[in-house]
């Protein structure tokens, strides 16, 4: 519905969001090497190798031996670095590019890495409980991205964002509208019991984790809901990381 392009939200504590850039690079490299069939020609098999399959965890269902899947518990980490196609990858990385830097700024580089993984893990767990018998591997960073969306909405609901509405109409809207509508869209699909390839409950798990974690991981002095935003000066020299 809305494709985010750019936000007006400068860094206040760090010079560069290098952890956000690193996560984007890792996701892209993994896709190119393991999923695009440009290098190792593994292609769709990567989803069975490293994707999270609920039935394997809950019911001990084994995949064909030719795939040589990892122990399924490890796939709660590896699944979030795989994607279902170029558009899936680009969509998630675009959200990470636009919104991840400010969450990294608010909590620090290494805490942001832990935050990202924890939200992705929560998304995987939520998907498992919603589809315990599914034999379809879950892939994608969407749970982690949902956590970033929840944290951004709690920190910066009044920040203006340039978006493409319906993929073609440029608009400048507040984050509360853009991200609030995105969250509402998840709820609508859950209530409508939409049966497609999207893990709506995985998004919800990431959202809940992101909202909870930002409360405890944010730096001292980082306000919620843009309180004091107008008076917060930009700091050109980064503060000492916690």
For the entire predicted model, the pTM comes to 0.87
- Domain extent, residue 147, equals 2-224
How many domains is the chain built from? 1
Mean pLDDT of 180-203: 84
pLDDT digits (tens, 9 = 90+) for 45-84: 777 778 888 887 766 566 555 444 567 778 899 999 999 8
Does residue 235 form part of some domain? no
pLDDT score for 71: 73
Angle at which helix 109-130 crosses helix 86-107, to 10 degrees, equals 130
- CA 189 to the chain's CA centroid: 18
Task: Select from 156, 162, 152 the least CA-distant residue to 183.
Answer: 152
Does residue 234 form part of some domain? no
For residue 139, give the CATH number of its domain. 1.20.1540.10
Does residue 182 form part of some domain? yes
Phi, psi (5° rounding) for residue 212? Answer: -75, -45
Distance (Å, whole) CA 113 – CA 144: 10
Does residue 241 form part of some domain? no
pLDDT over threshold 50, residue 236: no
| Complete edge-to-edge strand list for the sheet that includes strand 160-165 | 2-7, 160-165, 169-174
Terminal Cα distance for the chain, rounded: 37
pLDDT over threshold 70, residue 123: yes
- CA 68 to the chain's CA centroid: 27
Does residue 61 form part of some domain? yes
Does residue 214 form part of some domain? yes
* Inter-residue contact 121 to 76 (CB < 8 Å): yes
pLDDT over threshold 50, residue 111: yes
Does residue 60 form part of some domain? yes
Task: Identify the bridge partners of residue 3 per DSSP, sorted by sequence position.
Answer: 164
* Three-state secondary structure call for residue 34: helix
DSSP-H helix ranges across 18-85: 18-30, 45-50, 54-59, 75-78
């Amino acid at each position: 519905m809305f494709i985010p392009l750019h936000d007006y939200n400068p860094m206040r504590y760090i010079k560069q969001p290098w952890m956000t850039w690193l996560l984007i690079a890792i996701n892209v490299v993994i896709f190119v090497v393991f999923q695009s069939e440009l290098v190792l020609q593994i292609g769709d098999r990567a989803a069975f190798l490293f994707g999270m399959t609920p039935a394997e965890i809950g019911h001990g269902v084994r995949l064909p031996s030719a795939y040589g899947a990892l122990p399924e518990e490890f796939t709660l980490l590896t699944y979030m670095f795989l994607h279902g196609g170029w558009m899936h990858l680009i969509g998630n990385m675009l959200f990470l590019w636009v919104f991840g830097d400010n969450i990294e700024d608010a909590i620090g580089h290494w805490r942001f890495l832990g935050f990202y993984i924890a939200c992705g893990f929560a998304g995987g767990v939520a998907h498992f409980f919603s589809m315990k018998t599914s034999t379809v591997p879950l892939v994608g960073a969407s749970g982690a991205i949902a956590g970033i969306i929840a944290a951004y909405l709690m920190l910066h609901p009044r920040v203006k964002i340039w978006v493409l509405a319906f993929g073609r109409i440029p608009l400048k809207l507040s984050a509360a509208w853009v991200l609030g509508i995105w969250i509402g869209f998840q709820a609508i699909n859950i209530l409508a019991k939409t049966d497609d390839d999207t893990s709506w409950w995985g998004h919800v798990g990431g959202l809940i984790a992101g909202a909870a974690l930002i409360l405890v991981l944010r730096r001292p002095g980082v306000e919620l809901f843009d309180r004091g935003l107008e008076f917060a000066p930009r700091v050109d020299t980064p503060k000492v990381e916690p």
